[in-house]
């Protein structure tokens, strides 16, 4: 058997096993709220589910590549996004306990009206749509070049198999399989690190001394990640859905642990890129390191990608289903919930068969949602409904300035890669916060 045959075996076997092991949801509470034997997930299960649902195939690929480009500084920079869990955990704890809200949608409808809730729903629906193709493309790339038949077949089969077990149990399946996938990810990551550090010429000091702690070589991204962490988590229903299924205290504890442990996982995975840097490798760091160590390690890395992509994909299907059925109140029915999973699987896969411009045009970046920052950070403040729209639209404007590369260079005060990302976010978040409160200030002046 060659490497591709082994990869097919991994995908099919792991997916069939997860389908067999996944619980069958018979009630809407089981399907949409992950209630099992009348109990919500405990802190350990919820923490594992949070981490693995965010360590998706694209993120660990990015972590390894940033390790290759910037050394360990790149890994730490990318791990900055995991502050998102702590921010979301603490703010949603308050929104639930002090505000008494049972979901993000209920909070937004109560405070800003149905129009605001609809606009927010569009943003997160696009986010979920993006999650499908951005993860399955990574899987496809391990089977063949972009555009090859192997590439397309891998994406279609992987998506269909993941949909099968996700539709069986909904969020119950997603969280149950997340625990298995988290254990697998941890073991496989330790195997890779053990192999890397067994190389005599590579030591811990090589890792700690790799990279330079400067804005040009990684810190631009680090500070941009920290800034975005105050808005980024709230446009990701995969994360926020999990913030309302267990008790407030269990949820807060799980989110804080996930923030720390998730960041550690990303930093550890970036060591693969650091090793690639010391060996002078170019291209995709994880792939090149896998090839250098032979078939077994390459398969282990592939299996990590399959595991992490599947965990994000099944969570995406569950979140989209919940968005339509529970949050938007379309049809509270399991058949409709399962059909909506199939719909997002098909819609999210279609762009892969189109050109790359289509993909970039449908992407909502972290910068585009910085307008959510004051809405959640100052959730207790009473402001006119227009404040929501002004802040969100301002964030989208700054996002487009970055995408189309038309942000004034005179407002960028650091050099190197990601300098524009950092300063667009700094000016953007200041603008969003100011604009959010202007209607309240004008009202008080009358």
CB-based burial label for 427 (10 Å; 0-12, 13-18, 19+): middle
- Give start and end residues of each alpha helix (H) in 198-324: 204-208, 220-228, 237-240, 248-278, 285-293, 295-322
| pLDDT value for 365 | 77
pLDDT reported for residue 279: 93
Spatial distance between the Cα atoms of 287 and 271, rounded to a whole number of angstroms: 14
- 332 to 32, 140, 338: CA distances (angstroms): 10, 35, 11
Question: 36: which strand partners?
Answer: 39
Q: Tell me what pLDDT residue 3 has.
A: 85
Residue 40's pLDDT is 86
DSSP states of 143-170 as a string?
A: TSSTTSHHHHHHHHHHHHHHHHHHHHHT
What pLDDT sits at residue 359? 56
Residues 336 and 324: their CA atoms lie apart, in Å, by 9
- CA triple 169-174-177, angle to 5 deg: 105
Helices (H), 198-234: 204-208, 220-228
Residue 263, judged by CB atoms within 10 A of its CB (0-12, 13-18, 19+), counts as: buried
Q: How many CB atoms lie within 10 A of CB 439?
A: 17
Is-contact 230 86, C-beta < 8 A? no
pLDDT of residue 421: 94
| C-alpha–C-alpha distance, residues 370 and 166, integer Å | 31
Nearest to 134 by CA among 343, 348, 367, 318: 348
Helix (H, G, I), strand (E, B) or coil at 223: helix
CA–CA separation, 140 and 166 (whole Å): 20
- The answer to whether 93 touches 252, Cβ cutoff 8 Å, is yes
End-to-end CA separation in angstroms for the chain? 77
The contacts of residue 280 (CB under 8 Å, 6+ apart) are: none
Q: What is the mean pLDDT of each run of 10 residues along the chain (446 residues)?
A: 88 94 91 84 94 86 95 97 97 97 96 96 92 89 89 95 95 92 93 92 93 94 97 94 95 97 96 95 92 91 89 94 93 92 95 69 77 97 97 96 93 95 97 97 84
DSSP three-state, residue 102? coil
* Other CB atoms within 10 Å distance of the CB of residue 91: 18
Q: Note the pLDDT of residue 409.
A: 94
């Amino acid at each position: 058997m060659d490497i591709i045959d082994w990869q097919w075996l991994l995908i099919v076997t792991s997916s069939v096993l997860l389908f067999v092991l996944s619980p069958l949801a018979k009630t809407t509470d089981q399907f949409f709220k992950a209630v099992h034997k009348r109990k919500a997930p405990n802190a350990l299960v919820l923490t594992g589910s949070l981490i693995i649902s965010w360590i998706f195939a694209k993120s660990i690929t990015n972590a390894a590549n940033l390790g290759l480009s910037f050394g360990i500084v790149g890994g730490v920079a990318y791990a900055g996004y995991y502050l998102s869990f702590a921010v979301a955990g603490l703010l949603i704890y308050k929104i639930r306990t002090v505000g008494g809200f049972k979901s993000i949608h209920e909070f937004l409808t109560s405070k800003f009206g149905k129009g605001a809730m609809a606009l927010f729903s569009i943003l997160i629906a696009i986010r979920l749509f993006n999650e499908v193709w951005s993860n399955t493309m990574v899987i496809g790339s391990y089977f063949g070049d972009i555009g090859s038949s192997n590439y397309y077949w891998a994406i279609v089969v992987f998506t269909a198999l993941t949909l099968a077990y996700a539709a069986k149990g909904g969020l119950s399946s997603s969280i149950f399989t997340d625990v298995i996938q988290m254990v697998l990810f941890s073991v496989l990551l330790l195997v890779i690190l053990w192999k890397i550090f067994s190389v005599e010429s590579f030591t811990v000091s090589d890792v700690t001394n790799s990279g330079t702690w400067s804005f040009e070589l990684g810190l631009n991204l680090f500070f941009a990640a920290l800034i975005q962490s105050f808005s980024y988590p709230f446009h990701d229903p995969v994360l926020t859905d999990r913030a309302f299924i267990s008790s407030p205290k269990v949820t807060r504890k799980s989110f804080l642990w996930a923030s720390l442990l998730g960041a550690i996982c990303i930093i550890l995975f970036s060591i693969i890129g650091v090793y690639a840097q010391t060996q002078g490798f170019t291209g995709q760091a994880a792939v090149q390191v896998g090839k250098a160590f032979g078939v077994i390690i390459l398969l282990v890395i592939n299996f990590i990608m399959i595991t992490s992509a599947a965990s994000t994909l099944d969570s995406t299907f569950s979140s989209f289903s919940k968005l339509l059925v529970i949050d938007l109140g379309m049809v509270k029915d399991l058949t409709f919930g399962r059909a909506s999973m199939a719909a997002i699987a098909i819609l999210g896969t279609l762009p892969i068969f189109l050109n790359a411009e289509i993909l970039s045009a449908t992407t909502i970046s972290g910068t585009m949602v910085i307008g959510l920052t004051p809405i959640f950070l100052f959730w207790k403040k009473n402001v006119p409904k227009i404040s929501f729209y002004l802040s969100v639209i301002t964030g989208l404007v700054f996002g487009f300035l970055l995408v189309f590369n038309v942000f004034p260079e005179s407002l960028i005060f650091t050099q190197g890669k990601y300098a524009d990302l950092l300063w667009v976010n700094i000016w953007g978040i200041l603008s969003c916060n100011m604009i959010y409160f202007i209607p309240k200030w004008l009202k008080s002046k009358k």
